[in-house]
Amino acid sequence: MAARHASVRGAGAEATSRERRRLRAPSLDDALRPLDELVHERIRLGILSALAVSATLSFVDLRALLQTTDGTLSVHARRLEDAGYIECTKRFERRVPRTEFRITDTGRKAFEAYLDRMEELIRLTRKP
């Protein structure tokens, strides 16, 4: 029973610590910390953004959504797949190949960290 209370207390302490980081005054070090370049590139950011709000998307749907070419989408999707940010599933549907993508837990964490970092930059550049 004591272990259960400790874990609950630990979760609360973590949330409090996270909130303190969010409320602290931003520093120059915060402003100069680099963005995740794997996520920051326009097409890859678009892929992750689309998959963050959809369970899966087909290659054709992503290509149309991002208004890009097959080759460009393939290259960027492969980079995200190699990093473990997305998963690619290939199958046939009535003899037609179908490629589908989904975001992984690692990809979701990287995407959320990127969004947090962008929010920091926005707060740093907007003076009250």
Domain annotation covers residue 80: yes
Domain annotation covers residue 115: yes
Residue 87 tokens, joined: 């998963």
- Domain span at residue 98? 37-125
Q: What pLDDT does 50 receive? A: 97
Domain annotation covers residue 61: yes
Domain annotation covers residue 101: yes
Q: What pLDDT does 4 receive? A: 43
Domain annotation covers residue 31: no
Q: What is the mean pLDDT of residues 81-100?
A: 94
**Confidence label for 93 from pLDDT (cuts 50, 70 and 90):** confident
Domain annotation covers residue 113: yes
Lowest mean pLDDT among 1-10, 12-21, 83-92: 1-10
**Confidence label for 21 from pLDDT (cuts 50, 70 and 90):** low
Distance CA(73)–CA(62), nearest Å, equals 8
Lowest mean pLDDT among 13-17, 29-33, 38-42: 13-17
Number of compact structural domains in the chain: 1
CATH of the domain at 42: 1.10.10.10
Distance CA(6)–CA(8), nearest Å, equals 5
Domain annotation covers residue 25: no
Q: What pLDDT does 48 receive? A: 98
Domain annotation covers residue 42: yes
